[in-house]
Amino acid sequence: MIFNATKRALFISAHPDDTEFGAAGLLRLLIEKGIEVHLAVLSNPVESLPVGTDYQKLIDEQKASAEILGIKTDIHFYNYPVRKFSYFRQEILEDLIKLRDCIKPDLVITSSENDYHQDHNTLACEAIRAFKQSTLLGYTHPWNTRKVVGNVFFELSESNLKKKIEAISLFESQSQRSYSQENVIESLAIEAGIASGFRYAERFELVTMSVKNDK
């Protein structure tokens, strides 16, 4: 039903790589089905990189990852200060509303309210306000939550999973993180698959659902 009702999808990341970890498989699946996909990234967290690192490194990694996944639209980059999104709630809301009015997405995918990271949580709350009349899904990062969240599952092919792993691998600046490892990414896809009856899957929290009647 979601695929048939979707012409344009918008993925929103608090930081580069958030979408890749949480929803790269679904993103790739939508592109394979001919759906127009947009990506917005709200920060460039250079603070998390070693001193002296090129300021553009994460942006360049994000662009390379998006290209591997097949995104053909421009990425919408913003520069909100990392770990301080809560100070800019209104500004974030206004930028999300501008994206909504410009792209007019049928489907929006972003962080879950159940994600404990302060930026992810703020983004999730403002996305609910901005996209309350769209279908909105939230993805979780297991390392940022203490509960298993997900009542919507999308089956991933082996090809979808390999693209996800490849897209994540392009974030070389994050390769030291344990959850960046290929076996971890595959294990999470297997776990979601077990929960939903598939070999591989991604899980999402359904926040709102709005389906247009085209009859």
pLDDT per position as a tens digit, 47-91: 878 787 888 999 999 999 999 999 999 999 999 999 999 999 999
**Is residue 125, in this structure, part of any structural domain at all?**
yes
Beta-carbon neighbour count of residue 213 at 10 Å?
5
With tokens 């940022």, the residue in question is 144
What percentage of the chain reaches a pLDDT higher than 70? 99
pLDDT of residue 211: 80
Nearest alpha-carbon partner for 161 in 178, 140, 184, 145: 184
pLDDT of residue 140: 87
Number of residues that this document lists for the chain: 215
Handedness of CA 24, 108, 94, 118 (dihedral sign): negative
- The residues, any chain, with a CB within 8 Å of residue 41's CB and separated by 6 or more, are 13, 15, 16, 18, 62, 75, 76, 77, 78
Structure tokens at 83: 């770990």
CATH number of the domain that 193 lies in? 3.40.50.10320
Cβ–Cβ under 8 Å, residues 27 and 17: no
**Is residue 1, in this structure, part of any structural domain at all?**
no
**Is residue 74, in this structure, part of any structural domain at all?**
yes
User: What mean pLDDT do residues 196-214 have?
Assistant: 91
**Is residue 185, in this structure, part of any structural domain at all?**
yes
Phi-psi region of 174 (alpha: psi -120 to 50; beta: other; left: phi over 0): alpha
Q: Which residue has the higher pLDDT, 170 or 50?
A: 170
CA distance 148 to 8: 28
**Is residue 215, in this structure, part of any structural domain at all?**
no
Mean pLDDT of the chain: 94
**Is residue 3, in this structure, part of any structural domain at all?**
no
pLDDT of residue 215: 58
- Total structural domains in the chain? 1
Residue 168 scores a pLDDT above 90: yes
User: Can you give the residue range of the structural domain that contains 121?
Assistant: 8-208
